Amino acid sequence: MHELSIATSILKTAEAEVAKIKGNNVEEIFLEIGKISGVEITSLEFVWDSCMKNTVLEKAKIHITEPEGFARCAECNHEFKISKIYDSCPKCNSPFKEIITGQEMKIKKLIIES
């Protein structure tokens, strides 16, 4: 379950940002986790409480957005929605593509109590 290591990484980043401004705790955290990133949101939510206990994120309200997966075909330049990393172009059936969105794993914003 790599969601535990993702939660730990989010915590380390949040702690560093809180320390940087000499804040107290995070009130809200905004995450962007793409639908084809490989992260299971339910698994992340499952480990979140135990991982964040007694930390700056313990009482933070979590907001998660899940951008859809989109790709651009390397053969015909067609942009299309993908639900799996290995989806082929619906126009020319080429498997070669550039992923445009959907693989994100970002902390978009922290609201820190000072």
* Cα–Cα separations (whole angstroms), residue 40 to 12, 31, 71, 101: 20, 13, 21, 17
Burial per residue of 17-48, b for 16 or more beta-carbon CB atoms within 10 angstroms, e otherwise:
ebeeeebeebeebebbbbbbbebeeeebeebb
Domain ranges of the chain: 3-68+103-113
Task: Examine the pLDDT at 13 and tell me if it is beyond 60.
Answer: yes
Alpha-carbon dihedral sign for residues 64, 29, 57, 9: positive
Task: Give the mean model confidence (pLDDT) for residues 4-28.
Answer: 96
Q: What is the pLDDT of residues 92-102, one digit of tens each?
A: 999 999 999 99
Report the predicted TM-score, pTM, of the whole model to 2 decimal places: 0.87
Task: Examine the pLDDT at 91 and tell me if it is beyond 80.
Answer: yes
The predicted pLDDT at position 114 comes to 79
Residue 91: CA count within 13 A, CB half-sphere: 13
Task: Examine the pLDDT at 33 and tell me if it is beyond 70.
Answer: yes
Tell me the fold of 3-68+103-113.
hypothetical protein PF0899 fold (3.30.2320)
Paired tokens of 16: 């560093």
Q: Are 41 and 33 in contact (CB under 8 A)?
A: yes
